[in-house]
Amino acid sequence: MGRVSQKRRTRALKQALGLWPNRFGRKVFDKEQRTDSSPKKNLESDFGFYNRSARPEMGLVREIIEECVANYPASEVAELISRLRSGDDVHFRSATFELFLHDALRRQGFLLTPHPDLPNGSLFKPDFYVLDPNGESFYLEAVLATEKNELDKGGEARKGAVLDTLEKSPHHNFMIIAG
């Protein structure tokens, strides 16, 4: 058996066992030397900024997210990472909210099952089935509130492009604050 096919079979086995994504090296952020400490650009996604920033604070954010992902159920990690890396800030923020809720509850001794089937047969799958240390349980749906206009994503992109362009040529008599 060739080396490539052996690696594929090993990876397939790990995936089948639910061990592949976070236990064997799948990371959210790229492993690279970061040198750019500039502020986040208006058109830049949250993930893009966190992934490129050399600021020490952003390094801490990356570490926290990676640690939370390492403690997330292996069978769900690939989907979570794809949402984090999607370039869509709503997906990124929603995924980090779910990730942080999972980690906070896990640290308090709760057992969480992501995307459980509901006993009533509904096709809806809440984010978590949560079992507390006393045996009480509940379903948890994490909902992200946002003020962004989902109906006009193009408008948000145009606004960001204008703000990024204006920031390149500052004027001492004027200041622009995006609201």
User: 32-86: per-residue pLDDT in tens?
Assistant: 999 999 999 988 999 999 999 999 999 999 999 999 999 999 999 999 999 999 9
Pairwise CA distance, residues 44 & 169, whole Å? 18
Q: Given 3-state DSSP classes, what are the helix, strand and coil percentages for the chain, each rounded to the nearest 5?
A: 50, 10, 45
Domain membership of residue 175 (yes or no) is: no
Q: Is residue 11 in some structural domain?
A: no
How confident is the model at residue 156, as a pLDDT?
65
User: 88: domain range?
Assistant: 16-167
- Is the per-residue pLDDT at 26 higher than 80? no
Domain count, the chain: 1
Q: Is 1 domain-assigned? A: no
- Residue from 7, 4, 93, 99 nearest 50 by CA: 93
Query: Does a structural domain hold residue 9?
Result: no
24 is a domain residue = yes
Q: Residue 174 domain-assigned?
A: no
Contact 45, 87 (CB under 8 A): yes
**Does residue 81 fall inside a structural domain?**
yes
Which of 15-19, 65-69, 85-89, 111-115 is least confident? 15-19
3-state secondary structure of 110: coil
